[in-house]
Amino acid sequence: MTQPVWDEVLEKNIDFALLPGDTVYMNYKDRSPQGEIKYNRVWFRHLQQRAETHFANFISKTPIYSTWDDHDYGNNDADHSLAGKENSLAAWGHLWPNPYQGSSKGTGNYYSYSWGDVDYYVMDCRWYRNPHNGTLFGKPQMEWLEEKLLESTAAFKIIVSASDVMERGLTGDLKQIGKVVTKYSISGVVFNSGDIHRNQFKSQKVSNWPYPVVQITSSGIARVKQRPFAIITIDTNLEDPEMLTQFYIADSKERDTTWSNNATVDCHEIRKSKDRDLKQRCSKVVRLSDLTPS
């Protein structure tokens, strides 16, 4: 199936694209008889996706930052126990030109980069994920993130996690990050996620946090009928720096459709609306003053 949505995003003249996981979908065919993920099959799945002409054109013209979720890491709901995860990591390092993988703290598919006065921390929510102790990121990665947050002088600090950081049963890391933010009065922390195959804006109070936790979610760009994506525009030159999120979905199920956003609909004000399409086309401005400890 063709994916013309990539042409639509390209026309937005974005500075770069951030792909938050599930870029490809692996299955049992991608495992060895012993159940390990196979290096060459990771390559095969990604080459299949890159053979799609719209996507190939998009990544050839756009700076790309990427991370994985369960389906391109290994299989549905895969976690720290995945057999052959080292093969996935090695293949990913050859397939995507991210700045680096992991740190001296520990192995994994995580890294950071800066764009203007914004720092991005792209987390690996699979390598250390453990539902038994409620962690998404694991101790090595959390220690790395804490150091990075303390070093940052950027207006906004965007923590990218393919999975929802507010996911039930896996909020231990979110609370720990909140303790660090509170202890050191760190402003401007925002979360960006994928996974759930729709657009979603969250802003809610969480224990240990000195201000509401904001999470911007968009995923399923080439997988579901709405083909959602989000454009985030950040202006740090304002007296009160702000981040504008515009959510887009397809106007019809047809392949050659248009995509639209409603600039007049505030995501936070319609969060209880039953109109799912309206919630996926909304817009939201978040200001630095909204994300500053009192």
For 75-92, the pLDDT digits (tens) are 999 999 999 999 999 999
d(CA 173, CA 40): 33
* List of domains in the chain: 5-291 (3.60.21.70)
For 133-182, the pLDDT digits (tens) are 999 999 999 999 999 999 999 999 999 999 999 988 889 999 999 999 99
Q: Which residue has the tokens 């515009």?
A: 246
d(CA 56, CA 59): 6
Closest listed residue to residue 226, CA positions, set 254, 201, 246: 254
d(CA 226, CA 186): 36
Helix (H) or strand (E) holding 235: strand 229-235
The total of other beta-carbon atoms located within 10 Å of residue 50's CB is 15
Give the pLDDT of the chain (294 residues) as one tens digit per residue: 799 999 999 999 999 999 999 999 998 899 999 999 999 999 999 999 999 999 999 999 999 999 999 999 999 999 999 999 999 999 999 999 999 999 999 999 999 999 999 999 999 999 999 999 999 999 999 999 999 999 999 999 999 999 999 988 889 999 999 999 999 999 999 999 999 999 999 999 999 999 999 999 999 998 788 999 999 999 999 999 999 999 999 999 888 899 999 999 999 999 888 898 999 999 999 999 999 998
* The pTM of the whole model exceeds 0.85: yes
